[in-house]
Amino acid sequence: MSEVGPIIESHVVLDTHCPVRVDRFAADVFRCLPSRAAARKALKRRDLEVDGEHWVSGRYLSPGQTITLRQDSRPTAKPYPRDIVFPYLDEHVAVAIKPPGLPTSGNYWKTLENALAHNLALSTEHDALRVSRPVHRLDVRTGGLIVCARTGTAMTSLSESFQERRVSKRYRTIVVGRLEGEGECTEDVEGRAAHTLWRAVEHTPSLTTDWLTTVECRPVTGRTHQIRRHMQGLGHAILGDDLYGGRKVLRGKGLYLWSLSVRVPHPVTGDFIEVDIDEPAKFESCRRREAARVARRE
């Protein structure tokens, strides 16, 4: 039997979770496992344990059991040589700017996680992870801030902070049409509760869609494509969204959705890490271009 890796995160199963299969529960609580398929692979590698035992994916959990994730026993992937910007960095936590089009993680070489290995040396802390790991995800087409753990302590603490919703995030997007005021969306996403707060911040005339609206969104929950689905549900799809926006103004400039701000408790000091960045230049370029086209027609 191969040596087991150090524990990086554990969760106790509650009554409210059950009945639930171990792979479904693992994919829900361990943010570094992006899907049930990833959880099943971790079970096969014996990186996931239930009360210290190795399980198969089809078994159901019971209240009071503890599910533990150990550091990935696979050989580390070859670092992906892509430079990444870090607005915040210490020996426990890195906050990276993920370029749009780059997957956070997964069975690919060109991922943010593999790029972290190229950009960051091993932490000097005693429980340093072999490779720094993102503790949450952004859609492939979404760019901006993403929080990464550099130690086992940080992985556990940060994951708990996300699970307990002690993390605040703010996104900037441009949507099709004129959206006024502010509000919230609470429509379920794939049968799970989802909650997004939004506020319109700027309106831009457009020849193609009459108006474009710049919107700030604060997701309370973190479901897959949550902001994209909620904006589409309001009747204002995100500019460049070829999945939910249909034929709405696709200019080959990518998805106009960006993670601008994150606030998260530091895993060691408990003080809040607060990181804010500017919107990408393409946002202002889009607004200026659309307004100029309308002005030329007048």
Per DSSP, the residues of the chain read -PPPPPEEEEEEPPGGG-S-BHHHHHHHH-TT--SHHHHHHHHHHT-EEETTB---TTPBP-TT-EEEEEPP-SPPPPPP----EEEEE-SSEEEEEEPTT--SSSS-SSSHHHHHHHH-PPPSSTTEEEEEEESS---TT-EEEEEEEEEHHHHHHHHHHHHTT--EEEEEEEEES---SEEEE---BTTB---EEEEEEEEEEETTTEEEEEEEEEESS--TTHHHHHHHHTT-PBTT-TTTSTTS---SS---EEEEEEEEE-TTT-PEEEEE-PPPHHHHHHHHHHHHHHHHH-
| Domain annotation for the chain: domains and CATH numbers | 7-70 (3.10.290.10), 85-164 (3.30.2350.10), 168-259+283-297 (3.30.2350.10)
Question: Is the pTM of the predicted complex or chain greater than 0.85?
Answer: no
* CA atoms 239, 278, 82, 139: torsion sign: negative
**Per-residue confidence band for 1, with pLDDT thresholds at 50, 70 and 90:** very low
Distance from C-alpha of 130 to C-alpha of 72, rounded to nearest angstrom: 9
Contact 15, 57 (CB under 8 A): no
Q: What is the mean pLDDT of the chain?
A: 90
Active site residues: 139
Q: What is the pLDDT at residue 2? A: 45
Q: What is the mean pLDDT of residues 33-62?
A: 87
Give per-residue pLDDT as tens, 139-163.
Answer: 999 999 999 999 988 988 898 898 8
Q: What is the mean pLDDT of residues 227-255?
A: 84
Q: What is the pLDDT at residue 208? A: 86
Give per-residue pLDDT as tens, 67-95.
Answer: 998 876 666 678 999 999 999 999 999 99
